[in-house]
A and B are shown apart, each in its own frame.
Chain A
Amino acid sequence: MDSQCVSTLPRVCGVLLESGSSLPDDTSLEKLLDWFTTIAQTGASLLEACPCLVDFVSKVAFNHASGSSILSFTLKLTGLIGTSEDGFKVLKECSVLKLVFNPHHWQEAGLWGDPCLRIGWIQGLKMILQHSEALSFFAQEDLIEPLLQLQTDSSLFVASAANQTLAQVLLLCQSLSSVGHNCSKNRYLEHNSVSIETTQNYSGIITRVSEYLNKSVVLKEISQLPGCQQILRLLAMLLVQVGPPLRDTLLLAVMNSLEELVTTSCSQLTVPLMDVILAANSGLRDDFVPKQRLIRLLWVMLNMKKPAIVMQAAAAVLHSHHSDPTFSAHSARVLLLPLDIVTGVSLLDENSTEEELRILITEQLKRKSCISMICVCLSNIPQITLMASDHLPCPQRLIVTAVLMLLRLCCVDSSSSSAGCVEVVRFITGNSKVQKCALEALLVLSKSPGVKMVLVDVFKVLTEYLNSPSSDPSVLQKSYQAVIKWVGVCPDLSCITDQLREGFIQAVRKRACDTRWEARDSTVEFLGHLGGAPSCRSFTEQETEPSDVFLGGCSFTVPLLKEALQDPESYVRASSISALAQTLTPSWQEGAALTQEQEDIVTRLQEVLFQDSEGFARRAAVKYFIAWLSACSSPSSCWLLMQSVPTVLSQGVNDLDWEVKLHTLELAELLLDQAFPDPSPSHPYAVMSDQAHRLHIAGQQSDLLSSLKDLVDRGVVSALLCGVVDCDRPVALKACQLLLKLRGVVCPVMGNAADTRVFCQLAEGSVMQQVRKIQAMGKDTYVVSEACSEADKEGICASVDPERVGVCEVLRLLDLDEKLSILTQSSDHIYNSPLSLLQDILTAAAASSQPGRDLHQELVMDCY
C-alpha cells in the first residue's frame, strides 16, 4: 500500500470518529470500504496494512455518538476484518466482535430501527461467516434468532441481504459438516478444527432454520402475504444453493406447509411457489420420498381452476427447462390454449383433460384481462420453440399461422375475422402491447422448420402493419426488425410478388416522411439493414440483393436516403448516412463507376461535417468515409474519395465532439495502414549481399519517402499532430499510438533523410509550442508542461522561425513514449486513487467544520 495512504488513514479514521454524522459526500464511505475490500482480496492482511482500523472499530462500537451511516460502515468494516481468521481473533480478543454483532446492544441504543444499521449488521455478519471460528461464534451468540427475524424485514434491502446471509450460514454449515464427517472416520477429530461441539452447533442451527421455514410458509390471512412471498423466495434460493443431505432436510421440513399453501390458490404466490417447487424438483433422486409429493404439487399447480395461475405455472415449467418432457409438453399445451381459442387455428388436438381449462380461459378472454393472458402466451413462444419437435403439440408452422392470424386481428385496418373467440377482438384490436408481443414471437419463429409455406403470409401481414396509419412507432420498429429477420432466414425470396413489392414501397415511402421521428428513423435504419443483408435468390433463380427484391434496389433507396439527410431530427440524419454507407458498400466493393448521386452525397456529407450542430450526424459522416475507404478495392483510383479525405481529416480532427475526432483518427489509421502495409516477413536465414542490402534499403527509403509525402499531403500527419494534444484523452491516446506506429515505420529506415525532404505544417497550437520550445532549448526529450505561462510560450514561439518542420524531427522531439504511458492510465487513476479519496474525506470534513464557511450558501435555521 502507498506509504502516503498509510500515513493519511489514521487521520481519516480520526475525522470519521469526530464527524459523528455522515460525510458531505455519501459515496465516500462505500468507496473506502471498496478499497479495504480490494486490499483484503489481494491476500494481504488488512490489519497489517491498516493497523489503525481495530482501534477505530472499537471506538465507534463503544461510543454511540456516530451517525447511522458511520455505524453501518463500521459494522461492514468489522465483518471485512473478521473475514480472515487472524483478523477474527484480534477482534474477538478486544471484545469488539461480541459487542458489534449483538443486536441488543443496538436495540438498547435505539438504533436498530434504522435500516441503514441493520444492513450494516447483516453484511458485516455475512462477511465474517467464512470459517468455523465465525460459525461457532454465530452459534454461541445465538445470532440465528435475530437473523431469522430479519428474513421478512420491512425493508426489501434488509430482507434480501438477510436471505443471502442465511444461505451463507447454511452453506458454511454444510461445508464444515462434510469436513467433520470425513475427519471422524480417520480418528483425527481431536486435532481438527471442527470439534464435536461445533458439529452440534451446526445441527442446532439447521434444526432452527427448518422449524422457522416450516412455520413461516403459511398464509392464513392476507397480511401474511408479503412475508410469505419473501420466505418462498428464500426457500427457492436455499434449495438451489445447498446440496444434499441438508437440502433434503429442509425440503422434508417444509413439505407439509407447501402442500397446504398450494391449496390457497393465491395468484400472487404462484411465481415464488413455482420457483420453490421447481428448485426442489431439479436434481432430486427418484427414490427420495418427497419427489412424488413434489410431482403431485406440480400437477396441482398446472391443473388449478384459475387460468392465470395455470398459465404462470406452465411458463415457470418451461423456463426451468424441466427434465420431465411430460410436464413441458403439458405446459406448452396450456400456454398455447389462448392462441388456439383467440385465432381459431387448431393448435391442439381434442383433449378432454383440457376441456375445463379451455372453458375457463375462453371466459377469461372475454374480459379486458385477456391482454395479459395473451401476452403471457406470446412471450413464452420462444421457450416452446426450443422444445423437441416430438413433444410439441403441433408443428411450429401452425404456431406461425396462429401468430399471423392474431396479428391480423390486432391490426386496426385489417378486415380479417376470427374463427375463434370473437369477443376478444374488441380488446386486442389496435393494442400495441399485444402487437409488440406477437411481433416478438414472429421474430423468434423465423427459425422454425417448414416456414417457407407461410412466407408470403408473413410478409403480407408485416406490410399491413407498415402501412397501417394507426401503428405505434415501436410496433413499426418491430415490424421492420421482423422483415429483416425473415429475409435473413429465407434464402429464396421468389415469393415476393409485384403486388407485395408495391405494398412495401408504398409503406416505406410513407414512413420515410412520417410526422414522428421515431418512425422515420426506424425506416431509414431498415433501409440500411436491408442494403446490408446478404444476397439471396429471386424468382429468376439469380442471386439478387434483398433490397432489389423488396424495393427495386438503389434507384428507390438512395434518393429516399438522400432526402433523409435533410431531416430536422439529428438521429434520422445520422441513420440515413449510415444507411447510405450500407447501401453503397456493394458498389464500392465492385469498384463500380461513380454516379452523380454519389458526388451529391459527398458534397452533402461535407456540409454535415462543417455545419451540422449534432455530433451523431457528424460521427456518421466520418464513418461513411471509413466504410468507403475500407470497402474500396483501389482507393487511389477513386478520385472523389481521395479528394474528400483531406477535408474530412482536417475538419474532423478539429470537431467539438471527441468521438468525431476519434473516428477521424480511425480514418487516418486506415490511410496509414494502406500507406505502410505490413511487409511480408523475409526469411530469417535469408542471405543478402552488402550491395543487395544497400539497394534494398535505398528502395525502401524511396518507397517510404513517397508514402510519407502522400500522407502529409492528405493531411494525415497534421491530423495526428493535432489529435495528440487534444484535451479529450481517448483522442490524444489514439493519435499518440498512431504517431508511434508512424515513427516505428519511418524513423529507423529514413534516419534524418526525411527531414530534408518531407515537411509538415504545424497548426497554431500546443504541438507547435512544444516542438518550438524543445528546439529552442536544444533538448531532445523534454515534455512541456501545459501549465507553463502564456508569456513563456509566446517568447519561445517568437524566437524560432515559424517555418515548417521535418516529420521525423517532430516524431523524435515529442516524447511520445512518455505521453503514451500517461495517457494509457485513464484519467481515473488520479481521481479514483485511494489517496485522492482519503484526501477528499479530510478536506471535505475540514471544510464543513469550518465556522462561517458554508459551501452551499444556505441559511440553516428553524423556518417555522
Chain B
Amino acid sequence: MPEIKVTPLGAGQDVGRSCILVSIGGKNIMLDCGMHMGYNDDRRFPDFSYITQNGRLTDFLDCVIISHFHLDHCGALPYMSEMVGYDGPIYMTHPTKAICPILLEDFRKITVDKKGETNFFTSQMIKDCMKKVIPLNLHQTVQGDYNMTPDRHLGAAWIDKCRPDILISESTYATTIRDSKRCRERDFLKKVHETIERGGKVLIPVFALGRAQELCILLETFWERMNLKAPIYFSTGLTEKANHYYKLFITWTNQKIRKTFVQRNMFEFKHIKAFDRSYADNPGPMVVFATPGMLHAGQSLQIFKKWAGNDKNMVIMPGYCVQGTIGHKILNGQRKLEMEGRSTLDVKLQVEYMSFSAHADAKGIMQLIRMAEPRNMLLVHGEAAKMEFLKGKIEQEFNCYMPANGETTAVTTNPSVPVDISLNLLKREMVLGGPLPDPKKPRTMHGTLIMKENLVSSEQALKELGLNEHQLRFTCRVQLQDPHSDSDTLHRIYTHLKSVLKDYTIQHLPDGTVMVESIVIKVSSSAEDANAKVLLLSWSYQDEDLGSYLSSLLKKGLPT
C-alpha cells in the first residue's frame, strides 16, 4: 500500500516555526518554512541537516509550498534558498508572494538593527529568493493558519468535502472557544474611545500585516460613525505598501469588502494619516499604529518611551511578543523597565492585550474537519496538552495524529485514480433509470477504460477514437479610415505587412484575403461610413501572439 509520511521539523506539538515534510508518491514536499522569532541564533530556523546529510536540499526536496505570509510560516525561506542553497521550486499564492518580502524585509531590518547581526539574510537574498517563487492559485487546503470567523478583510475558511487521505490542521486554540469576534471588537473600540475622551494617547504596536489592516478598517468605520476628530496615524511606510497590496488583491478579500469596494475602497482611509516622528510630542489625544509590534526597537519603542510616564495614555498589544522584548515585559505586568544607560522607565500608562489572532478556535477546527471528512487527521501548530485534548475529541469520528517535532507519522492510502466518463455512457445509464453517480453512494458501472501510454499524433488519436477535430479560432474586428476600394485597402494591408513582418509568410490570396501564417484578414466597407473599413481578423490559437500583435498594428492605421 502506498504511504504518506509526515514529519514536522517545526510546529510539531508547539507553536514555533512551521516546517512540515510530507513524502507522498516518491516526492518530498515541504509545507511552510517558518522562523521562530523567539531565538537570536540558528535555532530560529528549521534544522535541515536532519533530512539531508550532505546539505544538498535541492537533491532531496521536490518543492516547497508556503501556506501564507506570516513569518512563522515563511520566515526561513531566504535562509533556505540563499544560505543553505535550495534551488528547487517554491510555490505560494499571488498575495503571499507580494506581501511575504515586505514582512521578511521588515524583520530583517529589525533583526540587523537590534543585534547588529551580520549572519542573517540580506535584502538582496530576499529578492533573489522571491525571484524563485512560482505564484499560483493555491487553495489553502493544506496546513496553514485559518479562521472560521470571517475577518473584516478576509473571508472565513472553507473546504470542499474532498475526503483527503490526510488533513493537516493547525490547532493553536485547540481547547478554546473564543468569545465572539464582535465582543472583542467592541471591547477594543471602547478602550480606545475612553482613552481618547480623557485626552490620552493610544499606541498600537503592529507587526503582522493582516492585523494592522483589520484594526484600521475597524477604527476608520468607528471614527466615521462617531464623528471623532482625534487623529489616527500610521508610523511607517510598511503598512501603506501592505494597503496597496490589499487593494491590488481585492478579489482575495471577503465579500463585504468587495461589495463596499464598488462604492469606495475600504483601504483608502479618510481618518488615518501618515505619521511624522515630531507628532509624538503634540499635545492632545491621538491613536498611533507603529512598528515593530513587540516594542523592542524603532518607532514604536520610541513613542512608548515618550508616552509611558502618563497614566492617561494606553498601549494596546494586538499580538504575540517574544521573551526579552518590552512588549513581553509589560504584558506580564512589569512596571519598571531598565533602559539603556542604566536608566529606568516607570510604566504608568495602561497596558492592554487584545487577541485578534488569525486562528480558528476548537469549534472552527472541528467544523473544518467535518467539512472535509478526511480519512486521517494530523494536528500541528499547537501546544501538546491542548492538542491531546482535541485529538481525543477528533478520534471519536476520525483517525488523528499529533507527531512531535522530528517524529514521522505514516498513513497508508488507497489511491483512487480519477477518470472521465463518456457522455454517451452516462446518458445510457440515465435511460436505464439508474441513479446518477454520487460520491456518497458508490455503485458499479460497466464500461471500458481506455489507457494509452504511448504518445500518438492528434490525427491518429482522433481517427482511433472516431472523433471529429474542432478548431478554435479567435476573431477580431478592426475599424479604420481608408478612403480606397476594398481591394486597394487589402493590397495596402498586404504591402504594409510585407514591410513590417519580414520573416513571416504573407500571402495575398485570390479570394480577397490576406494570410499571415494562420491569420486571415478580410476587408469590408462600413455601412454607415463609406471611408471606414472594417477589417476582419481570424486566427488559430497557435498564433495567438501574432494575431494580437497584428490587430494592434492594424488599429494604428495604414501608412499614407
CB-defined contacts of B455 to chain A, threshold 8 Å: 426
B406 in complex: contacting residue of A156, A730, A836, CB < 8 Å:
A156
B335-358 at interface with A (beta carbon < 8 Å): 338-341, 343, 345, 353-355
Scoring A residues 823 to 854 as 1 if CB is less than 8 Å from chain B, else 0, what string do you get? 10111101110001101100110110000000
Nearest-CB residue, chain A, relative to B324 = A831
Cα-based distance from A836 to B309 in the complex (angstroms)? 21
B331 within 8 A of A: yes
Nearest-CB residue, chain B, relative to A432 = B89
Q: Do A832 and B87 touch (CB < 8 A)?
A: no
Chain B nearest Cβ from A785, distance in angstroms: 6
Cα-based distance from A836 to B322 in the complex (angstroms)? 13
CB-defined contacts of B341 to chain A, threshold 8 Å: 783, 818, 822
B293-335 at interface with A (beta carbon < 8 Å): 296-299, 301-302, 305-306, 308-309, 322-326, 328-329, 331-334
Cα-based distance from A818 to B341 in the complex (angstroms)? 9
Cα-based distance from A785 to B405 in the complex (angstroms)? 47
Q: Do B406 and A158 touch (CB < 8 A)?
A: yes
Q: Do A657 and B237 touch (CB < 8 A)?
A: yes
**Known pairs A233-B53, A656-B237, A847-B332; A518 contacts B343 (CB<8 A):** no
Chain A nearest Cβ from B214, distance in angstroms: 16
**Known pairs A25-B322, A830-B340; A863 contacts B176 (CB<8 A):** yes
Chain B nearest Cβ from A617, distance in angstroms: 11
Cα-based distance from A827 to B237 in the complex (angstroms)? 24
Q: Do B277 and A727 touch (CB < 8 A)?
A: yes
Q: Do A826 and B116 touch (CB < 8 A)?
A: yes
B427 within 8 A of A: no
Chain A nearest Cβ from B401, distance in angstroms: 12
CB-defined contacts of B442 to chain A, threshold 8 Å: none
Q: Do A837 and B324 touch (CB < 8 A)?
A: yes
CB-defined contacts of A844 to chain B, threshold 8 Å: 323, 328, 332
Scoring A residues 113 to 132 as 1 if CB is less than 8 Å from chain B, else 0, what string do you get? 01110000000000000000
Q: Which of B34-42, B225-233, B459-467, B480-488 is the interface stretch?
A: B34-42
**Known pairs A518-B131, A522-B131, A786-B306; A836 contacts B113 (CB<8 A):** no
Q: Do A855 and B131 touch (CB < 8 A)?
A: no
B173 within 8 A of A: yes
Q: Do A787 and B38 touch (CB < 8 A)?
A: no
B298 in complex: contacting residue of A22, A728, A860, CB < 8 Å:
A728
A225-259 at interface with B (beta carbon < 8 Å): 226, 233
Chain B nearest Cβ from A151, distance in angstroms: 14
Q: Do B406 and A830 touch (CB < 8 A)?
A: no
B14-48 at interface with A (beta carbon < 8 Å): 14-16, 36, 38-40, 43
Scoring A residues 9 to 40 as 1 if CB is less than 8 Å from chain B, else 0, what string do you get? 00000000000011011111011000000000
Chain B nearest Cβ from A322, distance in angstroms: 15
Chain B nearest Cβ from A210, distance in angstroms: 23
A interface residues, how many (CB within 8 angstroms): 85
A503 within 8 A of B: no
Nearest-CB residue, chain B, relative to A826 = B116
B270 within 8 A of A: no
Cα-based distance from A25 to B323 in the complex (angstroms)? 7
A27 in complex: contacting residue of B36, B278, B366, CB < 8 Å:
B36
A857 within 8 A of B: yes
Q: Do A863 and B116 touch (CB < 8 A)?
A: no
A307 within 8 A of B: no
Cα-based distance from A846 to B236 in the complex (angstroms)? 35
Cα-based distance from A840 to B328 in the complex (angstroms)? 8
Q: Do B298 and A436 touch (CB < 8 A)?
A: no
Q: Do A828 and B131 touch (CB < 8 A)?
A: no
Q: Do B298 and A658 touch (CB < 8 A)?
A: yes
CB-defined contacts of B511 to chain A, threshold 8 Å: none
Cα-based distance from A272 to B60 in the complex (angstroms)? 14
CB-defined contacts of B332 to chain A, threshold 8 Å: 24, 840, 843-844, 846-847, 855
CB-defined contacts of A473 to chain B, threshold 8 Å: 131
A418 within 8 A of B: no
Q: Do B179 and A787 touch (CB < 8 A)?
A: no
For B115, B328, B354, the residue with the greatest tally of chain A CB atoms inside 10 Å of its CB is B328
Nearest-CB residue, chain A, relative to B296 = A831
Q: Do B333 and A846 touch (CB < 8 A)?
A: yes
Q: Do B333 and A847 touch (CB < 8 A)?
A: yes
Scoring A residues 643 to 664 as 1 if CB is less than 8 Å from chain B, else 0, what string do you get? 0000000000000111100000
Q: List 21 A-B contacts (CB under 8 A).
A: A25-B323, A26-B15, A155-B404, A156-B50, A156-B408, A160-B50, A271-B53, A272-B53, A379-B59, A613-B241, A727-B298, A728-B297, A730-B116, A826-B115, A830-B339, A836-B329, A839-B329, A846-B332, A847-B333, A857-B353, A860-B175
The 6 closest A-B pairs by CB, nearest first: A157-B406, A727-B302, A27-B38, A831-B324, A156-B406, A843-B332
Q: A271-B53, A837-B323 are in contact. List 7 more A-B contacts (CB 8 A).
A: A477-B131, A657-B237, A658-B113, A827-B340, A840-B329, A860-B176, A863-B363
A positions within 8 Å CB-CB of B? 21-22, 24-28, 30-31, 68, 114-116, 154-158, 160, 226, 233, 271-272, 275, 319, 379, 426, 433, 436, 469, 473-474, 477, 518, 521-522, 571, 613-616, 656-659, 727-730, 764-765, 783, 785-787, 789-790, 793, 818, 822-823, 825-828, 830-832, 836-837, 839-840, 843-844, 846-847, 855-861, 863-864
